[in-house]
Amino acid sequence: MAIGLRLRWTATLALATIALAACGGGSDDLGVDPSAARASEAAANANATRADVEACSLLTEEEAGELLGLAVTSVEPVVIRVFRACEWVNDDSLPVQALQVGIFDFDVDSDRFRESAGAAGAAELEDVPGIADEAVWNGSQLYIRDGSLMLSIIPSRDGGREQAIATAAVVVPQLK
């Protein structure tokens, strides 16, 4: 597996760990009552919500290719309990280029949202106005809060902040 792809999977696992902790599947460091989180998760499963959308349905291969600036050679879904993500990959390029969108559904206020975004290793969060309820760039990922839904967008190695914001412009309206 290419080094860039390993780093992306490490970021994916870090995001999934945050999601599991918030839903009672990990430590209680985020201050979430595990029994309340499990009850909330059960209620969410009983009532289909906008969070039930599959991450891979948020972009077509063509849209992802436009955002990457390269043709998509594979689409790779990731599902870990309440965390769902998708990577659109071009493995013909060196280094491999991939764009990832992740979705979690847990009710967080602005402080908890910012704490989660900072937990991915950011020294400082930059507010990105005009996207959903709230959006922050942590230097490598764009985090978006829209009600109880939280998205993470990890741009390709060459894409950066601008690619993440362009991806949000396509993805966020589909969640309404």
Q: pLDDT (tens digit, 9 = 90+) per residue, 128-158?
A: 999 999 999 998 999 999 887 889 999 998 8
Would the pLDDT of 33 be above 50? no
Q: In angstroms, rounded to a whole number, what is the distance separating the alpha carbons of residues 23 and 93?
A: 37
pTM, entire model: 0.72
24 torsion bin: left (phi>0), alpha (psi -120 to 50), beta (else): left
Q: In angstroms, rounded to a whole number, what is the distance separating the alpha carbons of residues 33 and 76?
A: 32
Mean pLDDT of 43-65: 71
CATH number, residue 39: 3.40.1000
Q: In angstroms, rounded to a whole number, what is the distance separating the alpha carbons of residues 111 and 109?
A: 6
In the chain, the percentage of residues whose pLDDT exceeds 70 is: 68
Tally of domains within the chain = 1
b or e along 123-157 (b: 16 or more beta carbons within 10 Å of the residue's beta carbon)?
eebeebeebbebbbbbeebbbbbbebbbbbbbbbe
Pairing between β-strand 74-80 and β-strand 83-90 as defined by DSSP bridges: antiparallel
Q: In angstroms, rounded to a whole number, what is the distance separating the alpha carbons of residues 45 and 101?
A: 21
At residue 16, the pLDDT reads 44
Mean pLDDT of 113-135: 85
At residue 17, the pLDDT reads 43
Pairing between β-strand 97-105 and β-strand 83-90 as defined by DSSP bridges: antiparallel
At residue 176, the pLDDT reads 75
Three-class DSSP labels, 11-22? HHHHHHHHHHHH
Would the pLDDT of 34 be above 60? no
At residue 175, the pLDDT reads 82
pLDDT tens per residue, range 3-12: 444 444 444 4
Would the pLDDT of 14 be above 50? no
Mean pLDDT of 149-176: 92
Which comes out higher in pLDDT, residue 49 or 88?
A: 88
At residue 108, the pLDDT reads 76
At residue 83, the pLDDT reads 82
Range of the domain at 101: 3-175
124 is written with which tokens?
A: 């400082």
- What confidence category does residue 52 fall into, taking pLDDT thresholds of 50, 70 and 90? low
Would the pLDDT of 164 be above 90? yes
DSSP string, 69-122: TS---EEEEEEETTEEEEEEEE-SSSS-EEEEEEEEE----HHHHHHHHHHTT-
